[in-house]
Structure 1
Amino acid sequence: MRANEQMMLISRLQDWFGSQCNEDWEHSFGFRLETLDNPGWTFEADLAETQWADVVIARQRVDRTESDWLQFEICQGKYMASGGVFNLVEMLKNFFDVLDELRDANQRN
């Protein structure tokens, strides 16, 4: 992924967060990005009080190598992902891919 595409993901995360802020949501909810000691990343986004609050997606995992992996799930009003040290961009892209798929499925229904 090129640098401009990576920056688009950061912009999209910023826009997503801003669109959830309603002078209430941001006081209790948000997102967290942390490092793992194996090494890797965790990304968690609160979906409570959003259109995806009741969505449940069972854990899905992709293992390519010991250091190249990704897993995610949605449960209890949270999108939770973790991945290898070089999978952060993929984790953020996956977050938006999942939300886009859910939005598109909702529009079809």
Structure 2
Amino acid sequence: MINWIQNWYTENCDGEWEHHQGIKIETLDNPGWNVEINFNFTNTEVNNENWKVYEFSENDWIGYSIIDNIFNASGDSFKLNVILKIFKLITENKSIDEDIVTKLINENKG
């Protein structure tokens, strides 16, 4: 996934986008991850999606939304890879359904 996100980022760098939009990956204090990726001024078209959360326990959760071409996702400390996979699938399909997200989460537990 790291190679894929690096390639997507590089493909969208145009001298401007990376200065004002880009990708932000941060840690949360609960602990967990927050990822924000701005689709504005990229070649990627996405559909808006309201916040969807998948919470199995206090330490096993993930959620994401796409509002105004901004992908925002958070998850527990073991969900960074799943967040990036969700982002990848969204870039390929404009959106994804809940069954696919659940499958990604379950694969990550293995």
* Matched position secondary structure for 1:38: coil
Q: Structure 1: 5+ residue runs without aligned partners?
A: 1-8, 104-109
RMSD: 1.7
Per-residue Cα deviation, 1:44-73 (whole angstroms, up to 9, x for no partner): 001111244673111111112211111000
Query: Residues 100 and 53 of structure 1: is their aligned pair in 2 closer, same or farther, counting only changes over 3 Å?
Result: closer
Residue-pair matches, total: 95
Q: What letter matches 1:97 in structure 2?
A: L
Moved more, 75-84 or 48-57: 48-57
Rounded Cα–Cα distance in structure 1 between residues aligned with 2:11 and 2:44: 14
TM-score in terms of structure 1 length: 0.79
Normalising to structure 2: TM-score of the pair? 0.78
Q: 2:49 aligns with which of 37, 50, 57?
A: 57
Partner of 1:77: 69
Identity %: 32
Given the superposition, is the C-alpha separation of residues 53 and 21 from structure 1 closer, same or farther in structure 2, using an over 3 Å criterion? same
Q: Counterparts of 2:50 and 2:33 in 1: how far apart (Å)?
A: 19
